[in-house]
Amino acid sequence: VLGENKENPFRRKSVSRLLEPVVLNLVQQIPGVGKVKAMQLLQRFPSIHQLCGASVHELEPIVGQATAQHITAFFHKQFT
């Protein structure tokens, strides 16, 4: 038992693990972005701050032109 590599259920999880579902759900609220695109975006832009600052040009290879425009419009309407 002592030599096994099992995770201690009483140990606190890191903050990043707890926030991932929240961040994923937020990104999925953007028009045209589902779970797959949200996961792809978060692999390239691991934080909301980075995603919010991304240009249409940076987003296009991941999600296409129309969705890239939706993403930039979403963040600029919501937070500016």
Residue range 36-75, pLDDT digits in tens: 999 999 999 988 899 999 999 999 999 999 999 999 998 8
Q: Which is more confidently placed, 41 or 19?
A: 41
Counting the structural domains of the chain, the total is 1
What angle, 0 to 180 degrees and rounded to 10, lies between the N-to-C axes of helices 35-44 and 15-28?
Answer: 130
- What are the phi and psi torsion angles at 30 (to 5°)? -75, 130
| Mean pLDDT value of segment 26-37 | 92
Over pLDDT 70: what percentage of the chain? 72
Residue 10 lies in a domain: no
| Mean pLDDT value of segment 21-37 | 91
Q: Which is more confidently placed, 50 or 16?
A: 50
CATH number of the domain enclosing 23: 1.10.150.20
Residue 28 lies in domain? 15-79
Residue 4 lies in a domain: no
Q: What does the angle CA 29 – CA 35 – CA 36 come to, to the nearest 5 degrees?
A: 135
Residue 6 lies in a domain: no
Which helix H or strand E contains 27, and what residues bound it? Answer: helix 15-28
Residue 49 lies in a domain: yes
